[in-house]
Amino acid sequence: MIQSSQSISSSSQNNPDRQEAKTIRVALPANPYDIRLIAAGLDAIGSHLSVAQLGSKLGKKIAVVSNPEIFNLYGDRVLASLEQAGFETLSYCFEPGETHKTFASVQGLFDALLAARFERSSTLLALGGGIVGDMTGFAAATWLRGLNFVQVPTSLLAMVDASVGGKTGVNHPQGKNLIGAFYQPKLVMIDPDVLATLPEREFRAGMAEVIKYGVIWDADLFAQLEAADRLDTIEAIDPTFLLDILGRSTQAKADVVIQDEKEGGLRAILNYGHTIGHALESLTGYRAINHGEAVAIGMVAVARIMVHMGLWDGATEARQLAVIQKAGLPTTLPEGVPVREIVDRLKTDKKVQDGRVRFIVSKAIGSAFVTDSVTDDLVTTALETLTA
């Protein structure tokens, strides 16, 4: 096993106890990179892309790829920092939303890169949530067979999950993320300050993924979440605690990705709660509930299944439920989605192998494994207890 390393440095002038920066190394053999968590990191991104800081030389041209809303909030700061560091910048915005996560949208970016004469040494910087990151990464992976790629995630979900690990892609009309590539960034720069402008519902959605890491990988993280007074709004979360849960979550993701970059085995555990979650998202047309909410319900459902399988006791299930409720996330099935249809939809999951639906389950908080031995009857019984 290759280890990732974590270093912590404190740089606050006003409060010496406040940790404002952490670096987590994603020590992949061929494509190692840092996740840097830095308050006000947006204003320092240019210097973090220097040879000295990055360890490799980027070409002069860099495109900041975003969506209009995020770009209006943060684009100027990122461009200023890059220009100050001597980069020639281009900015490009995708239309926002899952419906625009298409090959056609990426084609628009390709046209702009062609017009601006981007070269292989040039860089695409994704400034946004998971959709912007996935599409920009896909463009970086494929244009001229590979440009440099930098992730600057602006949603909690993208910070703790989508921006780390190199999954990039776009949707096909028949399904989410069916077209894509594994393509690792050169750097992930996380500025926790940008979460101040994230809508609360999206913050809670990201918290579902944080809870996931606690359950599948990091029992101490789970204990911290249990001990917190509130998890449902960024305003109630102390900056030091926020940096800690961001650090622990990204460390968990890095640990898993280092051991299984291309999802040959272990990486599948990152899909805890996602098997049923994906079915719920697709049955509600990706509108009624968001990804994190669907994962939250999926985690509640799989906990029921685990109790039936004798993997968890009722007390462990209750602990998970309490944390999910504290994060203000839903714990019952959305209205109008029949249990039978959810069970049928599971069969179309990307992770189905040899016709068997695979679930991520756990024997104890802090660990997880994949199983294909969950029967339809068991899923049905569990889901029937989750109706509001």
How many of the chain's residues bind ligand GLY (CB under 6 A)?
5
Residues acting as catalytic residues: 145, 167, 209, 253, 263, 267, 271, 274, 278, 291
Residues in 132-171 at the binding interface with ligand GLY, rule: CB under 6 A: 161, 165, 167
Residue 42 or 270 having the CB closest to ligand GLY: 270
Contact 201, 129 (CB under 8 A): no
Residue nearest ligand GLY by beta-carbon distance: 270
Cβ atoms within 10 Å, residue 318: 12
Q: What are the φ and ψ backbone dihedral angles of 279, each rounded to 5 degrees?
A: -65, -40
Contact 279, 338 (CB under 8 A): no
Cβ atoms within 10 Å, residue 26: 25
Structure tokens given for 356: 């068997």
Size of the chain in residues: 388
Residue 270 lies near ligand GLY (rule: CB under 6 A)? yes
Residue 237 or 269 having the CB closest to ligand GLY: 269
Q: What are the φ and ψ backbone dihedral angles of 350, each rounded to 5 degrees?
A: -60, -30
Residue 167 or 186 having the CB closest to ligand GLY: 167
Residue 281 lies near ligand GLY (rule: CB under 6 A)? no
Residue 267 lies near ligand GLY (rule: CB under 6 A)? yes
DSSP state of 347: T
CB of 219 to ligand GLY, least distance (A): 20
Residue 212 lies near ligand GLY (rule: CB under 6 A)? no
Cβ atoms within 10 Å, residue 100: 16
CB of 45 to ligand GLY, least distance (A): 23
Residue 93 or 256 having the CB closest to ligand GLY: 256
Packing angle of the helix pair 291-309, 274-283 (nearest 10 deg): 130
CB of 183 to ligand GLY, least distance (A): 12
Residues that bind ligand GLY (CB under 6 A): 161, 165, 167, 267, 270
